[in-house]
Chain A
Amino acid sequence: MSVKLNRRINAELDALVAQDVLSPREARRIAERYPTTPWDMLVLVRWFTILGAVAAGAGAIILAKEYVKAIHLAELGLALATVGLIWLGRHLARAKGLVKTGAALEMAGGFALQGVIFVLAIDFSHGSKNWPALVGIQSLALAILAYALKNRLVLIHAGICFFVFFGGESGYDSGWGAYWLEMTYPIRFLAMGFVFLGAAWLHAAVLKRACQNFSRVYAHLGLIDIHFALWFLSVFGYFSRTVRWNASDGERAAFSALWALVSVFSLWLAGATGQKILKSYGMTFLIINVYTFYFQFVVDRSGSLWWLHLLLVGGSLVGLGFALERRLRRPSESAPLAPSS
C-alpha cells in the first residue's frame, strides 16, 4: 500500500517540476523519502550507520580509558582519528556518492575531536575540576565543526553536549532498573529553549539552503529544553541548583498550569504553521503533565476537590472542540444546493 501511495506522490512531484514549483534537484531529493522499490534501503543506511558509529565510538572510548596509558599517544591518536575520519567521510560522500555513510563518519570524527579536547584538558589541568566548562568548550567546537561541514549529525552531538554543559544529566542505576534525569537552573533552560526555537525559525525562513536543514535540530533542542524545564518546575516548584521538597504547592500548581498552556498553544501553533513536531511535543507532554498532576494533587489529596477541576477543564476542552467544529462545519446559508445527479 505504501509503495502505491509513494508512486502517486512521485507522480505529483513530477507534476510540481513540470509546473516549475520544484526544481528537478529538489524533486529528486524529496523523492528519496518516498521510495517505490520493494525495500526502503535509505532507512537501513541512515540508522545502521548512525547507530553503528555511536556504538563503536562508545566502545573505543571504553577501551581507550582502560588501555591507553601514555597520554601523548592518546592525543596524537585522537587528533589523527579526527582528521582521518572527517577526510574519509568527505571523500566517500564526494567521490563515491555515499552521503549518509560519509555524514556518519564525520560524526565519528566529532567524537574523536571531543576526545582530543578531553585528553588535552587532562594534560594541561590546573586542578579546577570545572568539567561543565570543558563540555561547553566541546559543544562550541562541535557546533563550529557542524557549520564547517554542514553536517546535521555533528550539530545534534553539539546540542547534546550543550544540554550537559547547561546543567542537564541523565543515567541509569544498574540493579534498580531506574533511569534518571537531572537538571539545574530550569529557568535558564526555559529561556534558552525559546532562543533555540528562534534559531530554528531563522534557519528555516531566513538563512538559505546550506544550513536550512539545521532548523529541525534547533526545533527539537528548543522544545526539549522548554518542556523539560517546565516538567521540573511543575514537580519541584522554582529552584536553581537544588530542588525543594516542601512548601511549593502553589508554585507547582502554577507551573503545571503554565506547562499545560504551553502544550495547548503548541497544538494550536502546529495547526497554524503545519509543523508536525509542535503537535508531537504538545500532545506528549500534555499527557505527562496531566498524569503527573493527577498523582501530585488528586491522589495525594483525595479529600479535596482537585478531581472536579480536572473534570471541569477536560469537559470545557471537549466542549470547546464541539463549538469550534460546529462553527467551522456549519453549512453556508448562501451556498447553492448541490444539483441532484
Chain B
Amino acid sequence: MPNETVKERLAHDVGLWLSDGLVSKDTHDLLRQRYGSQAFGIAKAVKSLGVAGGIVAFFGLLGLIAATSGSRTFVGFLLLLSGAAIAAAGIRLSSDKLGRYPTSSKALLCLGVVTAALGIGAVINALGANDQSTLFLTGILVVVPAGILAYRFKNSFLLYLALIVFFHWVGSWTDMYGRSTYELAIDDPRLMCFAALAAVLVGLYHERSLREQTVRFYQAYEVMGLMYLNLSLLILTVDPPGGTREQTLWVGLWFIAALLQIIAGALQHNSLFTGFGVTAMAINSYTRYYEDFWNRMHKGVFFLLGGAVLFAAGALCEVALRRSQRGPA
C-alpha cells in the first residue's frame, strides 16, 4: 500500500484526473474511497472554517481599533491581554492529550497572535508614534515571536501571517480607494525584490533540507516571496525609479525573471514556480500590449518575434521529450 504522503497527494489529484478526462466517473469514485478522500475533505473543511473565521475576525479587530480612536491606549492593552489569553488557549488545546483539536487550535493561536499584535500597534500609536513608525516598531516586536511560535507549534497560518507582517514592514501597502478601486503600493520595490528573493531562497532551503521537520513551511516562503517579487517587478515596469528611460530594462528583467521561474518549476518539479512564472509572463505581456512606451520599438514585431521564439522553444522541448521517451525502449 502507498504511504500517507502518496495517498494524500493522490486524494488531492483524483478530482483533477476526472475533470481532465483521464479517468471515468466510476474510477474516480473508486479511487476517492481508496485514498480516503472523505476524511481528507473533512480535515480541509475544518481548516477552511478556521481560516475563513480568522480572516473575518481579523478585519473585525481592525474595525474595533478604528472605531475606538478616542481611547486607543485602553483598547490597545485590552487587545494585548485578550490576544495573549487566546494564544495561550490555542497552545493549550494544541497539546490536548486526546488530540481533538490539531487543526482548529492552530486557527485560535493565530487569532490570538493577531489580536495581541494589533494591541501592541494600538498602544504604540497611542503613545504618539505616527502611522509609519507604528508599523515599523510593531513589525520588529511581532515578526520574531510570531515566527518562533509558528516553528514551535508547526503552525503555517502563523508563518503566513508573520511573512505578511514582514513584507508590510519592508514597505508594502494595500488599500481600497473610493467604492471600486483596489490599490497596491510598495515603498521601495527594488529593496522589496531583494527581500522577496531572500524569502524564496529560505523556502528552497526548507524544501530541500528541512522538509521532514517543517512540513509545508517551504510553501509559505515560496508563495509570499514569489508574489512580492513579481509585484515589485510589475511596479518597476509601470513606474521605474529612473523614469521612462529605464522602462525597457525593467520590462526585460521581468520577462527574464518569469522565464526563470518557469524553468525553475520544471527543474524543481514545483508547480508554484511554474504558476507564478506563467502568471507573471501573461501580466507582463498584457500590460505591454496596452502600454504607451512603444515609440522606440515596434510593438507588433516584439510580440510576433517573442511569441515565435517562445513557441519554437516549446516545440523543440516536445521533440526532445518524445525522443527521450523513445530512447530507452
Q: Which residues of A contact B (CB under 8 A)?
A: 1-3, 5-6, 8-9, 11-12, 15-16, 21-22, 26, 29-30, 33, 35, 37-60, 62-63, 66, 96-101, 104, 171-175, 177-179, 200, 204-205, 208-209, 211-216, 219, 235-236, 245, 263-264, 267-268, 270-277, 279, 282-283, 286-287, 290-296, 298-299, 302-303, 305-322, 324-326, 328-331
Bitwise, B39-60 to A at CB < 8 A (1) or not (0) is 0111011111111111111111
CB–CB A174/B176 < 8 A: no
A204 and B25 form a contact (CB under 8 A): yes
**Are the CB atoms of B2 and A314 closer together than 8 Å?**
no
Tell me the minimal C-beta distance from B318 to chain A in angstroms.
4
Q: Are B287 and A172 in contact (CB under 8 A)?
A: yes
B15 to chain A, nearest CB (A): 4
Partner of B179, one of A213, A236, A293: A236
Nearest CB of B to A11, in Å: 8
Contact of B267 among A1, A29, A39, A276 (CB under 8 A): A39
- Chain B residues, CB < 8 A from A47: 262, 274, 277-278, 314
- Asked if residues B60 and A324 are in contact (CB atoms below 8 Å), the reply is no
Q: How large is the interface on B (under 10, 10 to 19, 20 to 34, 35 or more residues)?
A: 35 or more
B168: A residues at CB distance < 8 A: none
Contact of A174 among B21, B61, B292 (CB under 8 A): B292
Can you list 26 A-B pairs with a CB-CB distance of less than 8 A? A22-B23, A48-B314, A49-B315, A52-B308, A54-B285, A54-B307, A56-B308, A57-B307, A59-B304, A62-B303, A101-B318, A212-B21, A216-B19, A271-B41, A283-B51, A290-B55, A307-B67, A310-B57, A310-B59, A315-B53, A316-B53, A318-B53, A321-B53, A324-B42, A326-B100, A329-B101
Is B134 an interface position by the 8 A CB rule?
no
* Interface secondary structure of A, over-half rule: helix
Instruction: Tell me if A264 and B52 are in contact (CB < 8 A).
Output: yes
Which listed residue (A33, A219, A245, A306) contacts B63, Cβ 8 A?
A306
Known: A51-B310, A56-B303, A302-B66. 7 other contacts (CB 8 A): A21-B30, A40-B265, A51-B282, A271-B42, A277-B19, A290-B59, A324-B104
Task: Using known A-B contacts A172-B290, A274-B14, A307-B62, determine if residue A320 contacts B9 with beta carbons closer than 8 Å.
Answer: no
Q: A62 contacts which chain B residues (CB < 8 A)?
A: 299-300, 303-304
Contact of A30 with B306 in the complex, beta carbons under 8 Å? no
